[in-house]
Structure 1
Amino acid sequence: MVQADCMTAWNIRKELIEAGKHKVMEDLSLSALILTKHPKSAETFAHRKWLLEKIAKTCGAYTATLNDTVNIDLELQVCQGAADRYPNNYNAWTHRIWVVQTLAKEQLKVCHKELHTTQKWINTHVSDHSGFHYRQFLFLEISKYLKIIPQCRSQQLDNQNIPLEFDCASGCSEGCDDDCVLVKKNISKLTHYEKSREVLVQLLCREVNITTYLIEHYPGHEAVWYHRRSVVWSLMNNHNTVNRVQTTGSPTEEIKVKIQRMDTESEELIAKEKKFSQQFIDGSSNTWQAMLAERYMKWIDNLN
């Protein structure tokens, strides 16, 4: 409790567990308690990771037994508690990423739930770069799950049934309009590349609206502006990815029309972002906010 980052002490506890003199679950409880006093302790998080890996090795990863033994939600709460107690807690957020990547059984559902949970969190921690970086990780994981990657082809999703159970309105901030809400009308399962792409696009568009709300209501926070860059870049990259997929081989007339439409959407997005940043350059009484807007404008110009 006094020296949480004493590696020797944690290694001794590992030896005692291996010898059967200490129980894994007891050490999980102890390390959770220690993190309430030392929320950024890298060695404590490393020990928790070792404990969870030991449980996974014993039960078999992604099995019902593992999920019964390890409460994933509780582990995520431990991470969030540590993040609450120490700003920009890199160790807590890195451990949280590892939990989602390694222990989550239904990853798409977990990622969406985490988007909802951390949406509330970033509203009260608008300067926390690590929290925004975690949301960027979640979008990347969702895109991987939906096969939105340069190497994919639309045919790969034609015969797949990917369940999608998003609570459409959850997690939206005040001031968001209907355009930010993920609409799931007449879509119970994803069976086509374009549908999976639309899911990601709508989630990213909603995130743009969330950053708009935060920038307007909490001016001068660099973390929000950088997060907006990441989201807009993901939208642009998604358009470019679709273009590469669609142009494989000789494009048909229908594909040419789709590509032209997506190019138009990209141009409209850039124009909207320029207009958004210009309003703060011209009209913000906060000089730091105006400077952040200028930097954002320069970044947008480099996208062309």
Structure 2
Amino acid sequence: MEEEKALVDRVLIELSQIIESEPNLNEFAIIPVMNNEKNTSPLVYENNSIGLEMWAVKYIIIHTKVYLMKMRNLIKKNLSDSEVQKVKRSLLGAVLVQPEVTTYWNMRKELLERGYLSANSELYFTKLVLSYKNKCNEAFTQRRWIFKKAMEDNTLLVANAFLNYEHSHLLLNNELKVAEMTSLTTKNNYHAWAHRIWSLQNIKGLSKQSFSVILASQYESSYDWLFGNVSEHSAFQYRQKLMTFLIKNREKMNNFFVTYEQFTVDHLKLNNDLNSLFINNKKNNFEDFKCLFSLLIYELFHTVKELNKSYPGHESIWYHRRFLIKTLFDEIFNFKSKNRLRINDTNLSKSECLISRDLNELLCMDNIIINFKLFKPEFRDAESIMCFNKIVKDETELIKTSQSLKYDPVQRYLADKYEKWLMCVLQVDLLEE
């Protein structure tokens, strides 16, 4: 027992020395060596990577747990320097081999609060943990906790205070890079994609111009990611969220939307530009609507079309298509009805009203009878009918093509499901050939 304890102490001291002295560590891993045949240290350090032989893991788990449970409440009191160092070493080893134990992370928070650990070193350590456990939610949670602290104090991560926007820019870029690293290492990593979204939602102090540049870069890189990881539902969700961020920051996006708007005009075969599609194009929300409308059309008839052509039979593509077509119809409906429609039945939501009628009729009719007061349509009638019919025609062609025998049964099955969803949920009558 004493030999095992002495072994653990030596390993933890060596491990902490390597991590503290080497600022460029890339990876930590458990090496599948089950027995101590060479009677040497279980640590392997080379090429900026650390490995721990598996036979030593059980000893670290046992001895660090006993010691840390004893010190759990004592760390809230004044500790001697030697006790602080031992607690830090024990937590370092315990978290590396058992990163899912929340108690150990909470104890590290205590050390951070009391100044025994620095925020910089903790971010570095969590990145090392995530190199081994790419889906460790506790490590991401720890980074978010530090992220919030850093938003309140821009000197937390640096010796000298940055300008506020520079500090925020550095912080956000670090989180996006860590999330990208874990996404690349482990596919379908929901925690990594969720962390990206959380970071974008919670960043403060960043200039709108800088934030817009980051959003544009993320949106464009996500396009390439989808073609290399077509089955990642979380990546599609991330791209959907980015659309929302882009619209909120539209005023600082300069010419970002020009390509998407031109594609929309060409695809829908409009005579002039998108302004000609709407009568009341002076409304405050028109520019937001126009930009989102263009993004959705481009995503639906370019991005998803190319994905479907290159990777037939992937359910994630079809679910993304559902999101796009539903959002597209919702936005058209909401833009037309905003400040003009009143729902008499408070128990009936707008989305329920939307799917309760034939959408083609809804876009083209002169008035709505069920639960709505009369309103003047804000689409030009001819353009409205043409726009909607063009979208439905393209969807019909896609479904019929995907149902043909040249595709495998999975693609045909997914096309059948999509067709039923359009007809039964959105109440869309697909055009007959």
* Common fold: TM-score over 0.5: yes
- 2:401 is matched with 279
1:41 is aligned with what amino acid? Answer: C
1:68 corresponds to 2:167: yes
2:253 is aligned with what amino acid? Answer: L
Task: Please give the alpha-carbon distance, in whole angstroms, between the structure 2 residues aligned to 1:45 and 1:116.
Answer: 25
The superposition leaves residues 157-181 of structure 1 with CA deviations (integer Å, 9 ceiling, x where unpaired) of xxxxx2323446999xxxx99958x
Q: 1:170 to 1:264 in 2, by over 3 A?
A: closer
- 1:151 is matched with none
- 2:333 is matched with 240
The superposition leaves residues 35-73 of structure 1 with CA deviations (integer Å, 9 ceiling, x where unpaired) of 11111001000101111111112239xx94264164312
Following superposition, the deviation at residue 291 of structure 1 comes to 0.8
- 1:88 is matched with 188
Task: Please give the alpha-carbon distance, in whole angstroms, between the structure 2 residues aligned to 1:54 and 1:72.
Answer: 13
1:114 corresponds to 2:218: yes
Question: Given the alignment, which residue of 13, 31, 35 partners 2:130?
Answer: 35
Following superposition, the deviation at residue 289 of structure 1 comes to 0.8
- Tell me the matched-pair count: 274
Structure having greater relative contact order (Cα 8 Å, sep ≥ 6): 1
Task: Please give the alpha-carbon distance, in whole angstroms, between the structure 2 residues aligned to 1:4 and 1:20.
Answer: 22
2:189 is aligned with what amino acid? Answer: N
1:129 corresponds to 2:233: yes
Q: TM-score, normalised by structure 2?
A: 0.57
The superposition leaves residues 112-136 of structure 1 with CA deviations (integer Å, 9 ceiling, x where unpaired) of 3221121111110000111111111
State whether residues 211 and 224 of structure 1, in contact with CA within 8 Å, keep that contact through their aligned partners in structure 2: yes
State whether residues 247 and 291 of structure 2, in contact with CA within 8 Å, keep that contact through their aligned partners in structure 1: no
Q: Secondary structure at the match of 2:98?
A: coil
1:226 is aligned with what amino acid? Answer: Y
Following superposition, the deviation at residue 74 of structure 1 comes to 2.3
1:128 is aligned with what amino acid? Answer: E
Task: Please give the alpha-carbon distance, in whole angstroms, between the structure 2 residues aligned to 1:261 and 1:169.
Answer: 21
Question: Given the alignment, which residue of 385, 389, 392 partners 1:267?
Answer: 389
- 2:244 is matched with 140
Following superposition, the deviation at residue 192 of structure 1 comes to 4.8
User: What is the 5 A alignment of 1:116-195?
Assistant: 116-144=220-248, 162-167=251-256, 179=266, 192-195=284-287
Task: Please give the alpha-carbon distance, in whole angstroms, between the structure 1 residues aligned to 2:218 and 2:283.
Answer: 24
- 2:178 is matched with 78
- Higher-helix-fraction structure: 1
1:57 corresponds to 2:179: no
1:203 corresponds to 2:295: yes
The superposition leaves residues 1-42 of structure 1 with CA deviations (integer Å, 9 ceiling, x where unpaired) of 221212122111111110111100110111112111111001
Q: 1:138 to 1:256 in 2, by over 3 A?
A: closer
Q: Secondary structure at the match of 1:59?
A: coil
Task: Please give the alpha-carbon distance, in whole angstroms, between the structure 2 residues aligned to 1:13 and 1:66.
Answer: 28
| Range with greater deviation from structure 2 (243-252 or 125-134) | 243-252
For structure 2, list consecutive stretches of 5 or more residues without a partner in the other structure.
1-95, 156-161, 268-272, 276-281, 342-372, 429-433
Q: Secondary structure at the match of 1:71?
A: helix
State whether residues 88 and 130 of structure 1, in contact with CA within 8 Å, keep that contact through their aligned partners in structure 2: yes
1:291 corresponds to 2:391: no
Task: Please give the alpha-carbon distance, in whole angstroms, between the structure 2 residues aligned to 1:137 and 1:78.
Answer: 19
1:196 is aligned with what amino acid? Answer: D
Task: Please give the alpha-carbon distance, in whole angstroms, between the structure 2 residues aligned to 1:262 and 1:177.
Answer: 14
Task: Please give the alpha-carbon distance, in whole angstroms, between the structure 1 residues aligned to 2:386 and 2:330.
Answer: 14
Task: Please give the alpha-carbon distance, in whole angstroms, between the structure 2 residues aligned to 1:270 and 1:227.
Answer: 17
Following superposition, the deviation at residue 204 of structure 1 comes to 1.2
2:254 is aligned with what amino acid? Answer: E
Q: 1:127 to 1:170 in 2, by over 3 A?
A: farther
* Percent identity (aligned): 25
State whether residues 236 and 266 of structure 1, in contact with CA within 8 Å, keep that contact through their aligned partners in structure 2: no
Q: Secondary structure at the match of 2:97?
A: coil
Task: Please give the alpha-carbon distance, in whole angstroms, between the structure 2 residues aligned to 1:22 and 1:290.
Answer: 57
| Range with greater deviation from structure 2 (13-22 or 135-144) | 135-144
User: What is the 5 A alignment of 1:12-27?
Assistant: 12-27=107-122
1:198 is aligned with what amino acid? Answer: K
Task: Please give the alpha-carbon distance, in whole angstroms, between the structure 2 residues aligned to 1:113 and 1:282.
Answer: 38
State whether residues 180 and 192 of structure 2, in contact with CA within 8 Å, keep that contact through their aligned partners in structure 1: yes
State whether residues 99 and 129 of structure 2, in contact with CA within 8 Å, keep that contact through their aligned partners in structure 1: yes
Q: 1:194 to 1:256 in 2, by over 3 A?
A: closer
Q: 1:226 to 1:284 in 2, by over 3 A?
A: farther
Q: 1:135 to 1:257 in 2, by over 3 A?
A: closer
